[in-house]
Amino acid sequence: MTSVRKTKRLKKAKLFVVVNVLILFFLLIAFGREYVGNIQIEREIAELQSERDQLEQDQLDTLALIEQLSSEYYLESEARTKQGFGLEGETVFVIQEGDGVHVSERGEEESTSTDFSNPRKWFLYFFDSVAFESLQDG
């Protein structure tokens, strides 16, 4: 009987070891999946944080641009260059290709004759003011 008991006991021990190995195998698979999932989540978090930092920087850049564009200096500069406005008492010369020279007093435009080319008008402006004035009057 002792040999029969030993055989039964040995079979039970083998069965116990096999069951424990299977349980250990399934636990390792489950923990491995969780570990890989945690690594993926950490990667996603890092990507989202870098995206957030980039968006914050873009927001700061946009706010700085808005502040710059709404400044009085910028608005005055745009009014002078694009709209031809000037301060009271200033004479503004706006040169446009094909349109000739437009002289403006405080933003009021006057068209000139287009008989002369633009370089010729500049020459007259700097070297023959009398001819330039007659061109403005005519």
**Rounded alpha-carbon distances, angstroms, from residue 14 to 3, 9, 17, 104:** 16, 9, 5, 106
What pLDDT, in 10s, does the model give residues 94-124? 666 664 445 555 444 444 445 667 788 888 8
CA 100 to chain centroid, in Å, comes to: 39
pTM of the model: 0.44
Q: What is the pLDDT of residue 89?
A: 75
Kindly report, residue by residue over 50-87, the tens digit of the pLDDT. 999 999 999 999 999 998 888 888 888 887 777 767 77
Tell me the domain boundaries of the chain: 1-70, 83-137
